[in-house]
Amino acid sequence: MAKGKASEPKIVDIKTKGKFNFGFLIAAGITLVIAAVMYYFLLPTLNPQQVSTWIFFGILILIYGFLSVIFAERNNNKLSKFDLTIGGIIAVMLVFVVGAGISSSTIFRASDYASLIEVEECEVDEVISQGENISDIALMDTESAKTIGAKAIGALSDVVSQYVISSEYSTIDLDGKPMKVAPLQYDGFFKYMGNKDNGIPGYVMVDPVKNESTYIKLSEPIRYSPSAYFSYDLNRHLTFSYPTKIFEDFYFEIDNEGNPYWICPVYTPQVGLFGAKDVTEVVICNACNGDTTLYKTGDVPQWVDRVYDGDLCTQKYNWYGTLSGGFWNSKIGNVGCKTTTDDYGYKVMDGDVWIYTGITSVTGDESNIGFVLINSRTGEAKTFAISGADEKAAMSAAEGEVQHLGYEASFPSLINIDGQPTYIMVLKDNGGLVKMYALVNVENYGIVATAATQKEVMTQYRKLLKDSNIETNGSQIEEITEKIIVSDIKFLTMDGTTVVYITSGETAYKQLLSENEELVLIGSGDRIEVTYTESGSDIKELTSTILLQKAEELSE
């Protein structure tokens, strides 16, 4: 046989000598392994209405195409029909996703976005009932809750060394009272590995009215948590259980018996393929054993307080407020456009937690034209119109009253005092501790009352309303005047404010020295005329003190 140059083998596109090119199978097998690893760690939602789903599969197609170049034979490294097919699929997917996103946007579907929420217009008395006392209103913000909550586990060395309190406090209604709850969580991966068999032992409950915290140790530990890893990671547990459901937030709550649960809203785009995500279902996950139940939003148990997040509620109202007149009106004309202020708070009313915030014009000034309250369980929305200061302006007004003390105001709550919409807030020192309370009239934020207790600030506020000749439709201030003999008088200075305490027999009175400097002329044994209002306190709040006779004159 003659010797000669060996002929090069003939390479075909998919098959070689009539046999299938197994390089494509190898590429497919490796891609499936990569897909499984990516799915486990990235936890993508397998739902065509989620943009990340398209990105996930687009990446896998690119990986498969790249691996096929490495493992499958090619004709002189030229592009094959297969390569062109891969590129075509990616291009079609990209065009489809971009097109679906544009067609789902507010520019084309403004009316659909605006109709996602139904808003009932009410009077203030229909939305917020008048209150004779305000001692059951939760005014604590999350930062204060963190400070007080930390005290609950401070002395528990076995807890504080292995766990931390979640920074995500949930405001709930517990037997008609506001409460803040937060679970313990693992303090990092290594603490999880050391405690995964024991689980998370309990949660912290903070009373925002009494400023007290309690650590609740569970008989069965929490095992499913966002701070856990592997199969006990809450996000992974939900994704594997409901691979097509879109989850974005998880909220910790307790039922009426104190059992811990995760409330997990399921989101579904309501406009086009991707636009206007709203909560349509809720998964309730037992934090201890991982059992899950899927509910429609209208069927969730009564004890659940947070189905709709505050950010979602305000976003839906903003769509309603700005897009009801059309997209271009929201950008150019602004006729009738209104939006929420840049923050919101929570109110517990009628067994539910309501999100409330001010409504202002889109021009953006420091005034409100009304308020909106949205039920965080049902999504019900109510508004009432009233012009006045927004929350930030009210906070500044309250801080101005105590600027010499350097106190900072918390985000206020909205209450109804004798028909007057009123902001109430706490004033905190640099350590986050509550020092005083403040009431600011919404319509006239020059009317500001501050005091050490809620009862005192209510008395001061009602007096200011009367002095300002503001009409109210609630309880009138009843002033009582009587003549007494002073048994003792003391001047006590607290936080830079001098308070004068007067006793007569078994009865005690008090008044700020700044309100009546003539108090320095009064001594023991003097006969004086006092005027006070009934506030329910054991110490009567004086509005007027007049010296009638000195003790020396009485003895003559």
DSSP per-residue codes, 327-355: HHIIIII-TT-EEE-S--EEEEETTEEEE
Residue 66 contacts residue 30 (beta carbons within 8 Å): no
Q: CA gyration radius for the chain?
A: 33
Rounded Cα distance between 366 and 391, Å, is: 9
Mean pLDDT by 10 residues, the chain (556 residues): 46 47 87 97 96 96 90 64 85 96 95 96 84 64 84 85 92 89 95 94 90 93 97 97 96 95 98 96 98 97 95 96 94 90 87 91 80 95 91 93 90 87 90 86 92 80 85 68 92 81 90 85 91 73 87 76
Residue 451 contacts residue 435 (beta carbons within 8 Å): no
Sign of the alpha-carbon dihedral angle for 89, 90, 95, 98: positive
Residue 211 pLDDT: 81
- Three-state SS for 371-433 is EEEEECCCCCEEEEEEEEECHHHHHHHHHHHCCCCCCEECCCEEEEECCEEEEEEEEECCCCC
CA of 84: how far to CAs of 74, 87, 267, in Å? 13, 5, 36
Residue 422 pLDDT: 92
Shortest CA distance to 64 belongs to which of 33, 97, 96, 98? 33
Residue 40 pLDDT: 97
Pairing verdict, β 367-375 and 19-20: unpaired
Residue 429 pLDDT: 86
Residue 14 pLDDT: 47
Question: How far apart are the two ends of the chain, measured CA to CA in Å?
Answer: 153
Shortest CA distance to 423 belongs to which of 352, 383, 368, 380? 368
- Long-range contacts of range 337-342, CB-CB < 8 Å, 24 or more positions apart? 337/361, 337/362, 338/362, 338/369, 338/370, 340/314, 340/372, 341/368, 341/390, 341/391, 341/392, 342/392
